[in-house]
Amino acid sequence: MSGTNSLSLILGLVLFSFSFTSVLIVPFIDILYKLKFLRFKEAPKLGKVPLIDKLLDKKAGVPTGGGILLVAIVTLLFLILIRILSSSGFYIQSSHNLYWEIFILIFTFISFALLGLSDDWLKIFGKPKKGTLGLWFGLNRKLKFILQWTLGFTVAFLIYHFLGISIVHIPVIDKVINLGVFYIPLAALIIVFFANAFNLTDGLDGLSCGLLLIFLVSYIFITATALDTPLSVFISLWIGALIAFLYFNVWPARIILGDTGALSFGATVAVIGLLTGNIAVVFVIGGLFVIELVSSAIQILGWKTLKRPLLPLAPIHHTFLAIGWEEPKIVTRAWLAGIILAILGLWLSTV
């Protein structure tokens, strides 16, 4: 496949996916309203209202199942188009076993989406449980974490066993380390890390999806250079659907991603990095996701060790909200930081 044909395919798929999603998203929002699949107020009805609830409960009533639509569209279009491209004689290049690469990609995308959907469903329609700091909504935290690790280890094993990936490349010094079977726990850790990092980032209108768009555009260059057709096709379709979704997700959002999309997208971001062999670059291009999770870890550490918070709120975007920054300003500046990190990451992938 020549560079020109590859570029034409990528651009065409982005436009096709964007158009397809644009047609479906407004009727889908209407369906979510009818099903009452909406964000709810978390503030207690009696007593002192926590600061986080004061800041974010104004988003109550917004449909929160955007991830359901995006996962369904990208998965369906990807499987259909890969089959069409293959049967039409289009030369599909891959660095790995084609069947297992596609299976791992789709398995990650769907399995983490189903876990997130379970959490979303229980948050909206289930009964709240009493937690350490108030009422707890959704899946039990420990169970959710166990399921994430189970899926993470499953995907990591599939990558190691069926694709034969066991190396880690360190850019700049250009060092390759073969971890052998120890690659599995490392890969599982990275998958769970990014699933939670993305989920934490998905707290302001347009924040996580805008950063994800920057990440995916960056990885189009990496996968095109690596001549990996399945990844290029998948990312192209994802970009198109994401642009259509982001139009309705920017402030003030008409639809929210929800855990269905957040867990799925975060885990798949990690898997894309693992499949391309650019684990270090994922942490750079996805640096804002990393910062969000680290800020939450710092806050937890403060409560555990000093019995007080170290930040006004966590994750970090809530801190900016608490000190008076307007939501669109936080999101826009995060996007700008994400662009700079993407440029840095792309540079690192070439040295």
Q: Two tokens at 182?
A: 């120890």
Asked if residue 199 belongs to a known ligand binding site, the reply is yes
Asked if residue 278 belongs to a known ligand binding site, the reply is no
Q: How confident is the model at residue 35 (pLDDT cuts 50, 70, 90)?
A: very high
Q: How many CB atoms lie within 10 A of CB 283?
A: 19
Do 272 and 329 meet the contact criterion of CB atoms below 8 Å apart?
no
Q: Two tokens at 70?
A: 């995006």
Please tell me the predicted confidence (pLDDT) of residue 157: 98
Closest listed residue to residue 295, CA positions, set 268, 322, 316, 320: 316
For the cut 60, the answer to whether the pLDDT of residue 1 exceeds it is no
What is d(CA 285, CA 290) in angstroms, rounded to the nearest whole number?
10
The phi and psi torsions of 168 (rounded to 5 degrees) equal: -125, 125
For the cut 70, the answer to whether the pLDDT of residue 63 exceeds it is yes
For the cut 70, the answer to whether the pLDDT of residue 43 exceeds it is no
For the cut 60, the answer to whether the pLDDT of residue 97 exceeds it is yes
Q: How confident is the model at residue 130 (pLDDT cuts 50, 70, 90)?
A: low
For the cut 80, the answer to whether the pLDDT of residue 56 exceeds it is no
> In whole angstroms, how far apart are CA 3 and each of 8, 67, 95, 226, 232?
9, 32, 17, 12, 12
For the cut 70, the answer to whether the pLDDT of residue 128 exceeds it is no
**Torsion 263-254-245-80 (CA) sign:** positive
Q: Using CB atoms within 10 Å of the CB of residue 212, give its burial: 0 to 12 exposed, 13 to 18 middle, 19+ buried.
A: buried
What is d(CA 170, CA 285) in angstroms, rounded to the nearest whole number?
15
For the cut 90, the answer to whether the pLDDT of residue 278 exceeds it is no
- pLDDT (tens digit per residue) in 185-221: 999 999 999 999 999 999 999 999 999 999 999 999 9
Q: Two tokens at 339?
A: 């662009």
Sorted by sequence, the CB contacts under 8 Å of residue 73 that are 6+ apart come out as 17, 20, 21, 24, 237, 241
More confident residue, 11 or 47: 11
Sorted by sequence, the CB contacts under 8 Å of residue 110 that are 6+ apart come out as 71, 75, 264
| Amino acid letter, 340 | I
> What are the residue ranges spanned by the domains of the chain?
3-279
For the cut 90, the answer to whether the pLDDT of residue 113 exceeds it is yes
Counting residues of the chain whose pLDDT is more than 90, the rounded percentage is 75
What is d(CA 177, CA 27) in angstroms, rounded to the nearest whole number?
49
- pLDDT (tens digit per residue) in 78-91: 999 999 988 887 77
Q: How confident is the model at residue 4 (pLDDT cuts 50, 70, 90)?
A: low
Q: What's the mean pLDDT in 101-106?
A: 97
Q: What's the mean pLDDT in 321-329?
A: 95
Do 104 and 163 meet the contact criterion of CB atoms below 8 Å apart?
yes
Q: How confident is the model at residue 53 (pLDDT cuts 50, 70, 90)?
A: confident
pTM (predicted TM-score) = 0.94
Please tell me the predicted confidence (pLDDT) of residue 131: 53
Please tell me the predicted confidence (pLDDT) of residue 129: 65
How far does the chain reach from its first CA to its final CA, in angstroms? 25
Please tell me the predicted confidence (pLDDT) of residue 350: 84
Q: Which of 114-128, 131-145, 212-226 has the lowest mean pLDDT?
A: 131-145
Do 148 and 116 meet the contact criterion of CB atoms below 8 Å apart?
no
Please tell me the predicted confidence (pLDDT) of residue 108: 98
